[in-house]
Structure 1
Amino acid sequence: MGKNREVKEAKVKEIKEKMEKAQSIIFAKYQGLTVEEDTKLRKNLREAGVEYKVYKNTLAKLAAKELGFDEVENVFAGPISTAFGYDDPAAPARVLNDFSKDHKMLELKGGVVQGEIFDIDKVKQLATIPPKDVLIAKLLGSFKAPLSNFVYLINAISEKQKSQED
């Protein structure tokens, strides 16, 4: 077996492992971004805990096919970048979608979220989901409101009883 083939097989294995590990994989066409824009995008993705890579399309297609994601094969036309979300499945979609609003050269192409193939519309819907910590804060806030009202009620009853005793 040739050295080149071994290198390619190792790269396909690496891509496949990342795809298996990721909760979400979002594909985007990045052609036309300037170096400054690409640097800013990579920084935004890194801050959101998203791994961002550019692979040869043939190798990425092979990895996707081996995992049974045959339907994403049509995504790989032209230069395509791949964003892997490991902790927050919505993070890659959110960052890429937000960035594409100001930088029209970045175009969402689709993705795979928890094993399900997502088209562009589903990726954009996923991008509207707030980050995990915001959702947790909202949940805790919804727990706090009834408890606060209950404490206020108990306090009012106590105050009323004290004023009646005096």
Structure 2
Amino acid sequence: MPSAKILSEKQAYVADLKAKFESAVSGCVVAYGGINVENDTKLRKELREAGVDYMVVKNTMLRLAVKGTSLEGLAENFKGDTAVAFAHEEDPMSAARILCKYQDGDKSKKFVVKAGFMEGKVMDAAETNAIAKLPNREGMLSMFAGALTSTLSGLAVAMQAYADKQEEPAA
């Protein structure tokens, strides 16, 4: 049986993990097998620059952290080599986007996105991969601006054609 000190440290660690799950807008659970140190370092750097918290955590600690929460369904994915990534307000899809991109390029096929979560809801691997393909905030704004501009341009052309038609002398 662990000492009281070790037990309180583990309880504090689980409480911290639970807070991370609750404060994250979204996140991913991955099986990180097959990744070498060089690629792991690159991946962690990219995640850090995107404002994503990424960590390898013991499955028992993860199960305890989600127990009794809306994310308890994630517990079935806490088997084998498990890492978890937490995305925040800046770009909610950043964790899924970066990890799914790495998964797609992994030749060993051992690095796998197992599941995800967003706004308190658990998503399976397929849903997480689909979400990862959505553009980021800037991409969405760009698409919206493009659609708005093309609509306004079309309206201006139609109005000009109508004005030109009104100015034509009657034959």
Q: Percent identity?
A: 34
Give the superposition deviation at 1:148.
2.3
Residues 83-102 of structure 1 show CA distances to partners (whole Å, capped at 9, x for unaligned) of 11112332211111110111
Give the superposition deviation at 1:155.
5.8
TM-score normalised by the chain length of structure 2: 0.84
In the alignment, which residue of structure 2 is the partner of 1:77? 79
Give the superposition deviation at 1:47.
2.8
| Aligned residues: CA RMSD | 2.2
Distance in 2, Cα, partners of 1:41 & 1:159: 59
Secondary structure at the aligned position of 1:118 is classed as: strand
Distance in 1, Cα, partners of 2:151 & 2:33: 51
Matching residue within 141, 144, 169 for 1:139: 144
**Greater helix percent: which structure?**
1
Task: In structure 1, give the amino acid aligned to 2:143.
Answer: K
Pairing 1:104-119 to 2, within 5 Å after superposition: 104-119=109-124
Secondary structure at the aligned position of 1:7 is classed as: helix
When the two structures are aligned, how many residues end up with a matched partner?
164
1:100 is the counterpart of 2:103: yes
Pairing 1:16-165 to 2, within 5 Å after superposition: 16-87=18-89, 88-103=91-106, 104-153=109-158
Secondary structure at the aligned position of 2:54 is classed as: strand
The answer to whether the Cα contact below 8 Å between 2:70 and 2:121 also exists between their aligned partners in 1 is no
Give the superposition deviation at 1:145.
1.2
Task: In structure 2, give the amino acid aligned to 1:101.
Answer: D
TM-score normalised by the chain length of structure 1: 0.87
Secondary structure at the aligned position of 1:89 is classed as: coil
Structure 2 gaps of 5+ residues are: none
Structure 1 gaps of 5+ residues are: none
Residues 35-59 of structure 1 show CA distances to partners (whole Å, capped at 9, x for unaligned) of 0010111122223322111122111
Give the superposition deviation at 1:119.
0.9
Secondary structure at the aligned position of 1:32 is classed as: coil
